Structure 1
Amino acid sequence: MHPDGESVRRALEEGPYGRCVYYCDNNVVDHQVVNMNMTDGSTVSFTMCGFTADCSRYAKLMGTKGQIIADMGANTIEVTPFGKDAELIDVSRMAEDFSGHGGGDRGLVSAFLDFVTGEQSEDDTISSVERSLESHYIALAAEESRRNGGAVIRMEQVRK
């Protein structure tokens, strides 16, 4: 069934979609800073903000030898080794479909299907099951910290 004017109006008046996000019990994270100490001694600071004027995604990675800026609105990646000229990569030349998280959703589903059908082994995938689980554990730890006033969360606790 496709929505029409009447069904949309009814959903807004009677369902949860018409509630004002600022005056309801919504406690979903809209911005967050997560600081992580890695086992090799490096540190990571991840900042997420759900509010943006252009409704796009942007990532800036800074390391000891340079930085990478990925702009998913412009479909570009800028790689700048410190002390050298930047290289701008036009990602739009690498694929045609950037829907669903910049094309990532389609790629994840495709890789998963290749794995479960046996067309690819775990060695051929972009991320192992262990690495994928670890990224989810980190997200769960960040949420636990947020819900507990910014408490330090040890990964050993989360993995149990």
Structure 2
Amino acid sequence: MTLSGEMEAEVEIKVSAETFHDVFSCRPHHISNMSPAKVKNVDLHEGDWGKPGTVISWSYVHDGVPKIAKEVIEAIDDAKLSTTFKVIGGDITTEFKELKFIVQATPKGEGSCLVHWTSEYEKLNENVPDPHALLELCIHISKDIEEHHLTQKPTAQA
């Protein structure tokens, strides 16, 4: 059994790739409004929203248990519509020496996109399971963002 690896998951959602990318790259603190059952809060610790090097803290629920993850935004690529997060603290560090999430949105037809999640990891020991459940959580949050955008009422234009 290897201690390091890479896993991928993807889902198609009815949100434009640009909108989805904007949420994760510049407005992750809004995700708690879009996925309140899974993401309780996203706090800014250091830096500015939408900038690489920014440190944020996620309060989330995983497998019914409240957890915390402190992450640094390593990269934002507006051309590829991708954002890279590296875990630097919190509950996840009890199982993983290194854990990185890369989320990329690819346009797919009008108002839809393919959301591709990549997890690069190094486990602390061979008894730690691969991060399948964390990737599944990311997919569910992506679907919650879709649901939030589909149920938003369009604003009346004057």
TM > 0.5 fold call:
no
TM-score by length of 2: 0.31
Greater share of residues in strand:
2
Structure of higher RCO (CA pairs closer than 8 Å, 6+ residues apart)? 2
TM-score by length of 1: 0.31
Greater share of residues in helix:
1
Q: Which has the larger radius of gyration?
A: 1
